[in-house]
A and B are shown apart, each in its own frame.
Chain A
Amino acid sequence: MFLQRTASALARRSPARAFTLAQRPFSSSVIRSNEKKWAPKQEGKILTFDEIKGEDDLFAPGAKPGTIPTDLDQATGLERLELIGKMQGIDIFDMRPLDASRKGTLQDPIIVNGAGDEQYAGCTGFPADSHQVTWLTVSRERPIERCLECGNVVKLNYIGPEEDPHAHDHDHGHHHPPHVEPKTFADYVKPDYWYR
């Protein structure tokens, strides 16, 4: 069904305004007569989920003049990525709740997917909702966290990019010393008892 729609939609031409992106701040948009400036900088096209690499692949072709566009005709940006994913049965944001069918242990923790350096995980115990929500922070440095309320163990499963492209920009040339976690009593426990 998706491929059929693709073929027919590609043949359509769209009204220029339907997918014009702001090429300059809107605050100066008094004069709108400059057609060249407002013409689309590229043709919109319908791509499959696997073909989408960057934002430029999320321009839609738009609707034919005189018709009501569909979301597939016209949605752009992240909304479009979500839509294309859903059309192929992929829930790109994975908004499902965490696994609450068991209590995580150090040997077999509850896995929390996260694409950033840190991820918050809410624990309500086992069975679910047996205590007030406790927010646990798992990070790439400290991937394992244990709920103070019920002892449930969660572990970060990092699924983000291999190398964070922004990681080197954080200093802004000021060269602060890197953040070191303060030592706690846990650091003086015999290393045999450490979980890592």
Chain B
Amino acid sequence: MIYKSKSNFQNHPFHLVSPSPWPLFTSLSLFILTTATVLFMHGFQGFQYLVALAVFNVIYVMALWFRDVISEGTYLGNHTNAVQKGLNLGVGLFIISEVFFFLAIFWAFFHSAISPSVELGAQWPPLGIQAVNPFELPLLNTILLLSSGVTITYAHHSLIQGNRKGALYGTVVTIILAVIFTFFQGVEYSVSSFTISDSVYGSCFYFGTGFHGLHVIIGTAFLAVGLWRLAAYHLTDHHHLGYESGILYWHFVDVVWLFLYISVYYWGY
């Protein structure tokens, strides 16, 4: 700080966070969640209750942590330009890591699908697998997701231009489209003729679409938090990094779906 009259403020723009229990609590919750899920999937009795409890716990700790971050950023003004730059970089790196996560899933798919082994009848989809018709529900889902990309862009531009109603409605419509997509994927799963244990086709199909669906659910929650903060006057026309990160994440989920649709549904049909 070059102005001595401001000597009762910190002289650097960075946010030195205070000690917080949430990283430790999050780690413990996630540890219990993974352990309980593994035991449940191996048929240990009663562990479905621990899975449910652990899921609740993870969400609860996340809510507490996010609440702290929101108070620091919105109510205490700790998120200066330098801090926002760091947060933005963190979000970008996180999404790049997600890209590589899905790259691995697509690698597994193409490894099995480009040169199907003789045990599958040297064909893809393997003999006996009735693949999902890409021009039925998956095409509708593609349209839903692409439309949600349009509505969230409308909401974002409305926010930047100071149009509160447009931002709120745009986000609400996006979340509704997202929920419909998730519902249709659930329908697709329940009527499909193959399961995750039906050959490498089933494994790759549910590996890819399942993790995509999980990301859709997370993205929906991300946007829902943005919607709440929009309604609660947390977001300004310029400073809305969490909301913008949610939008970026949503576009990422959207792009992953396009790749899934083209390669797993359409090419693999």
Contact A26 B68 (CB under 8 A): yes
For the complex, would chain B's binding face be called helix, strand, loop or mixed by DSSP majority?
A: loop
Interface residues in B57-82 (C-beta closer than 8 Å to A): 64, 67-68, 71, 74-82
Listed stretches A65-73, A132-140, A185-193; interface member? A65-73
Q: Which of A54, A75, A80, A159 meets B4, CB within 8 Å?
A: A159
* B163, CB-defined interface residue at 8 Å: yes
- Cα distance A93–B81 when bound, in Å? 11
Q: Which residue of B lies closest to A161 (CB)?
A: B7
**Given A26-B68, A63-B233, are A78 and B164 also a contact pair (CB < 8 Å)?**
no
Query: Which residue of chain B is the closest to A54 with respect to CB atoms?
Result: B8
* A119 smallest CB distance to B (angstroms): 10
A20 to B75, CA, bound (A): 7
The stretch of B143-151, B176-184, B236-244 in contact with A is B236-244
Q: At the interface, yes or no: A79 with Cβ under 8 Å from chain B?
A: yes
Complex CA distance for A21 and B70, rounded to whole angstroms: 12
Give 1 or 0 for each of B226-255: 1 = CB within 8 Å of chain A CB. Answer: 000000110111110000000000000000
State the majority secondary structure of interface residues on A: loop
**Complex contact A82–B81 (CB within 8 A):** yes
Residue of A nearest to B12 (CB): A93
Query: B111 interface residue, CB < 8 Å from A?
Result: no
User: What chain B residues lie within 8 Å of A69 (beta carbons)?
Assistant: 233, 235-237
B237 touches A79 (CB 8 A): no
What 1/0 mask marks residues of chain A from 50 to 90 whose CB sits below 8 Å from any chain B CB?
10111100100011001111110111111111100000001
In the complex, whether B2 has a CB less than 8 A from a CB of chain A is yes
Give the distance in Å from the alpha carbon of A78 to the alpha carbon of B67 in the complex.
19
- Chain B contacts for A78, CB-based, 8 A: 9-10, 13, 77-78, 80
A181 at interface, CB cutoff 8 A = no
Cβ contacts under 8 Å, B42 to chain A:
none
Cα–Cα, bound, A80→B239 (Å): 12
Given contacts A68-B235, A93-B80, A113-B2, 10 further A-B contacts (CB under 8 A): A26-B67, A54-B8, A63-B233, A67-B162, A69-B233, A78-B77, A80-B77, A82-B13, A90-B3, A95-B82
Q: Can you give 27 contacting A-B residue pairs, CB < 8 Å?
A: A17-B232, A17-B233, A26-B71, A67-B164, A68-B162, A68-B164, A70-B237, A71-B238, A74-B233, A75-B239, A76-B77, A77-B76, A78-B13, A78-B78, A79-B78, A80-B77, A90-B3, A92-B1, A93-B11, A93-B80, A93-B82, A95-B13, A95-B82, A115-B1, A159-B2, A160-B4, A161-B4
**Contact residues of A with B, CB < 8 Å?**
15, 17-22, 26-27, 50, 52-55, 58, 62-63, 66-71, 73-82, 90, 92-95, 113, 115-116, 159-162
